[in-house]
Amino acid sequence: MGCVVAIVGATGAVGVEFSRCMEERNFPVSEVRLLASARSVGKKMPFRGEELAVKELTENSFRGVNVALFSAGSGVSKSFAHHAVKAGAVVVDNSSAFRMDPAVPLVVPEVNPEAIREHKGIIANPNCSTIIALVPLWPIHQVNPITRLIAATYQAASGAGAAAMEELRESTRAHLEDRPFEQKVLPHPYAFNVFSHNSKIDADTGYNEEEMKMLRETQKIFHDPAIRVSATCVRVPVLRAHCEALTFECSRPIGADEVRTLLRHAPGVKLVDDAEKNYFPMPRDASGQGDVLVGRIRQDISDPSGKSIAMFVAGDQLLKGAALNAVQIAEFLVR
């Protein structure tokens, strides 16, 4: 007998992947409730050979629900998550609403699955950029603790949702056809352009919210408030799958071959590191699969101590960066 799962934000880019992940992974479910705003009510979505109708999200949507997967923005999570918990469900939330709440576990199953047991009804899914970085960094950190991380992200349209993905498609068509296009989702022209992540910039530090998420979430997940993180987060005209250039410093000297050995069989990681063919992680290869691709592993020649490594990673933002991570958490809950 399976459990009852509610998907909040079922028609969004991540919500669609929740259903797909559960189906592909044979998640033990007896009922799936697709929940969204009133404008999506009645829309049909496929699940295990059936067409399920989307229902309106209300305070009473969670009666009999065991697990509620949320991906409808922090405002919706703050308004409805506690109603789900009160009804007896465990919430796995994909928004930023509860990530830094000390009472809420922030979980990447390959890194800190033990934190799932500490939940009080809500478990937070980390930011996509954080997940994609930490899955390959954790096996290294366990052996030779990382003391500092410099990250530059190349973030796909999927990180801003289905509307941003469509805006990239349409603006690209317009650009190629030499006709005007007015962007409505993102603040700058997206086709053939790169721009700083569109989250709010802190006037005191100069860092935007996305960059500070990587710092704070890494410290919380690694249980290490001393780890130093500096990120530069950028939007690139790619539909899905984020890439990141990561340079990290360890407590002791470490070599590129040692890093490859540590990552070769690490859970959730796939080495794509073929220097002879100049073949390394790319978003087109990361899209649609759950592993984080890792390559360009090399000694950081700017650090004479030999403690620093540079590498390049790619991961599907909608899967491991969001839906898959949440479904993996839910699998721990129903074991």
The active-site residue, picked from 128, 233, 243, 250, is 128
Cα separation, 82 vs 89, in Å, equals: 9
The active-site residue, picked from 233, 242, 243, 250, is 242
Residue 221 in contact with residue 139, Cβ under 8 Å? no
Amino acid at 307: K
Residue 182 in contact with residue 163, Cβ under 8 Å? no
**Catalytic (active site) residue 3:** no
Cα separation, 316 vs 323, in Å, equals: 10
Residue 253 main-chain phi, psi, to 5 deg: -55, 145
Cα separation, 80 vs 66, in Å, equals: 15
What residues have CB less than 8 Å from 195, skipping those under 6 apart?
187, 188, 234, 235
Q: What is the DSSP letter of 4?
A: E
Cα separation, 64 vs 177, in Å, equals: 52
**Nearest residue to 322 (alpha-carbon basis) of 158, 197, 122, 103:** 158
Active-site residues, by number, are 128, 242
